[in-house]
Amino acid sequence: MKKITASVLSTFILAMGILSGCGKTDQSVGSESNEDKSKVVTIEAQTAAPEITRVENLEKAAEKLNEELKQQGKDIRVKVKTNLFEGSWEEYAKQFMLAFKAKKEPDIYATGHENIGWLADGNYILPLDELKKSKEYSDVFSTLWDSVTYKGHIWGALQDTEARPVFYNKDVLRKLGWSEEQINNLPEKVKNGEFTLDDMTKLAEEAEAKGLVQFGIIHRPVDGPDFHVMVYNFGGKLYDPEENKIVLDKKAVEKQLNYYYEIAQKKLIPGNLTQMEWSSIHKAVVNGKALFYYGGIWNVFNWSQDNFHEKLGKVDEKWINEHFGMMLIPAAEKGGKPITLSHPFVYTVSSQTEHLELVKRLLELVANPALQAEHDVKTFHLPVTKSAAEHPDFKANETLGNVTYMLEYTTFLPNHEGFPKYSKAVFDAIQAVELGKKTPKEALKDLEVQLKNDLGDQLKIVE
């Protein structure tokens, strides 16, 4: 999601009508009473489509909270008013800023963790350090706290997470002569560093050369987190927390650009990949036109919701598991550690909320393992706590159970407000090398100039 500036607000003010769907009502100040004459406080929660369970679970958490309030003899009850935003991520951010300015923003704003930087720096949200000490979050997968930490504070309640694996087409490997045992053991070979990024490229070449696939490899067509995992894979870093600066790690980025240049020069990817529509990507993968696809575990959900398959239309989880496997992104060097990247969704709390303590209690209760499991299974995400990962409903899902281990290999994007500019500039560089407009060295040189201009003293260059 791009950084939103004050100038954007003035041009977007015509869209104030959007706010009507999420404005606070008189209920939010406790004017409503229920049957037992208790005062009702309405807490508003908003998320982006399509995962409505992110806010519906807060409604269920409110039921538990009201039971506790009644047992404690409190004359107050909580009602959660939910709002689902349908639009682009940039519009979602703009709408929140406009609503905040009008003091009509939701008390709880669900968003991607990478937006914490601008939300915190703009004083839109409150720190939530105490959540880390609560019993409900005591067994969070420890690495996940990094995703909500910024300038030494925790700014979000972890809601869900995911992994971005490489999907591999089992049917193609069968045609290459692989046994079922070899096919099913590929994720383990990747995990052990036996199957590297170079091995993946060579196997893609073989499949394409033998006419088994149209493309050896497919990645996302637009700017996004997936590309930056390669910097980590090549031993680089993206952020310096001590200096609070975005890092241009030139050696790692050059290797990153070299990788995308190589797979383009070998014609392993579609020639116009960075200009394709998402629907075309999904259709190519589901219909077996590619051996490897850099995707996300939620794609299992996507492919079951839309008619991507030419003959079957929507494909269910069973079909997907029969035809596809998921593995970590292979290590860049033999014996190295493979990698993935996660994009946790988080609940942030408005700095203008009038019901902070009740909101905090809601955020603790919504971490209930059963609620997490319900959401994760419905939307194909991963839980944020170990207890949720052990919940029977979650464990019963073979697909999710098989990829939960990937959280031990995960990384995150920086929460710095300047990272969207870095990401856009890097994507432009990748697009240039894939289209053959620049060599990796030329693209890196231009990238450095662009980032110096875009980020100024927010940028740290590592030679």
pLDDT of residue 98: 96
Residue 90 DSSP symbol: H
Largest CA distance in the chain: 74
Kindly provide the residue ranges of all beta strands, DSSP E only, lying in 237-279, ordered along the sequence: 239-240, 245-249
Contact partners, residue 256, CB within 8 Å, separation at least 6: 227, 230, 231, 234, 236, 426, 430
Measured CA to CA, the distance from residue 427 to residue 439 in angstroms comes to 14
Contact 33, 40 (CB under 8 A): yes
Measured CA to CA, the distance from residue 447 to residue 130 in angstroms comes to 40
Pairing of strands 290-294, 215-218: parallel
Q: Residue 41 corresponds to which amino acid?
A: V
Residue 3 DSSP symbol: -
Query: Is residue 215 classed as helix, strand or coil in its secondary structure?
Result: strand
Measured CA to CA, the distance from residue 293 to residue 290 in angstroms comes to 7
pLDDT of residue 358: 96
Cα atoms found within 13 Å of the Cα of residue 234, Cβ hemisphere only: 17
Q: Which residues of 23-59 are buried (b: 16+ CB within 10 A; e: fewer)?
A: bbeeebebebeeeeebebbbbbbbbbeebebbbbbbb
Note down pLDDT in tens along the chain; length 463 residues: 333 443 333 334 333 333 433 433 333 334 455 556 779 999 999 999 888 999 999 999 999 999 999 999 999 999 999 999 998 888 999 999 999 999 999 999 999 999 999 999 999 999 999 999 999 999 998 889 999 999 999 999 999 999 999 999 999 999 999 999 999 999 999 999 999 999 999 999 999 999 999 999 999 999 988 999 999 999 999 999 889 999 999 999 999 999 999 999 999 999 999 999 999 999 999 999 999 999 999 899 889 989 999 999 999 999 999 999 999 999 999 999 999 999 999 999 999 999 999 999 999 999 999 999 999 999 899 999 999 999 999 999 988 988 989 988 999 999 998 888 999 999 999 999 999 999 999 999 999 999 999 999 999 999 9
Contact partners, residue 445, CB within 8 Å, separation at least 6: none
Contact 374, 54 (CB under 8 A): no
Measured CA to CA, the distance from residue 243 to residue 418 in angstroms comes to 13
Contact 151, 394 (CB under 8 A): no
Return phi, psi of residue 364, to 5°. Answer: -70, -45
Long-range contacts of 309-316 (CB under 8 A, 24+ apart): 309/283, 310/283, 315/286
Query: Is residue 153 classed as helix, strand or coil in its secondary structure?
Result: strand
Measured CA to CA, the distance from residue 137 to residue 140 in angstroms comes to 5
